[in-house]
Amino acid sequence: MDQVDKIKTPDFSHITSEDLNHIYEPSEDSFLLIDALEKDLGFIRKREPSMCLEVGTGSGIVITALGSVLGPLCRYMGTDINPRACSVTQETGRINGVSIETVCTDLVSEVIDRVKGTVDVLLFNPPYVVTPSEEVGQGDLEYTWAGGVKGREVLDRILPSVDLLLSQKGLFYLLVLKENDPEEIVSVMDSRGFSCECIMRRRTGPENLLVLRFCRKRNQ
């Protein structure tokens, strides 16, 4: 059977209006990340991933979308600081035929020891909106978008963990806003031994979004 090379947007009709009072609604940035994974699917498959982790799953549509094409031989895990997001993510996976283990935690603090060095695909669509620092992490919805200074206060906290999380063949897909200073992010990751490629960019209203893919320089 030919491998599917298109990623279908997962069914998320189970998400209620009450859910959306607490979790991030699937939006243009979510769909951009799915589109970028679809574009890069051949590259991902060549790595023969067996473990995928999404940080900050929200509705769970991104890791579900990837799981729907990579199949059950791969293990899927998602983290979110919001317990409602974790339960919605599991349900999104279930109704789309993808089994996702969720862990309610701040970024990767409760899973890093368990998955250290095993993550083949790491996904992160962080809170990237430039806001005052005091708005970061102030409530369920603010957790999903408020990024603080340069929109980087949450994003920058995950970067030191990437080397620990990724397997030797691991890939890290990161969605960023132009205002997040992607060039500086690339420089930081370069100093940590990672090369970067911009997989996709898209302008949605006032936002200029990019999806960056990082991999170890010695294992490109």
For 90, the token pair is 């599991």
- 10 part of a folded domain: no
The number of folded domains in the chain is 1
Check residue 2 and give its pLDDT: 46
Q: Tens-digit pLDDT profile for the chain (220 aa)?
A: 346 679 999 999 999 999 998 888 899 999 999 999 999 999 999 999 999 999 999 999 999 999 999 999 999 999 999 999 999 999 999 999 999 999 999 999 999 999 999 999 999 999 888 788 877 766 566 566 678 888 899 999 999 999 999 999 999 999 999 999 999 999 999 999 999 999 999 998 888 999 999 999 975 5
Question: Is 9 within a domain?
Answer: no
* Per-residue pLDDT at 128: 80
**CATH code, 65:** 3.40.50.150
Does residue 3 form part of some domain?
no
Flag whether 26 is in a domain. yes
CA distance 69 to 5: 8
What is residue 132's predicted lDDT score, i.e. its pLDDT? 81
Cα–Cα distance list, 10 to 30, 60, 62, 69, 126 (Å) = 11, 9, 8, 11, 20
Residue 62 within any structural domain of the chain: yes
The answer to whether residue 61 is domain-embedded is yes
Please identify which residue in the block is written with the tokens 């998320």: 12
Q: pLDDT at position 155, please?
A: 93
Could you list the residue range(s) of the whole structural domain that residue 104 is in?
A: 19-219
Does residue 6 lie in a domain region?
no
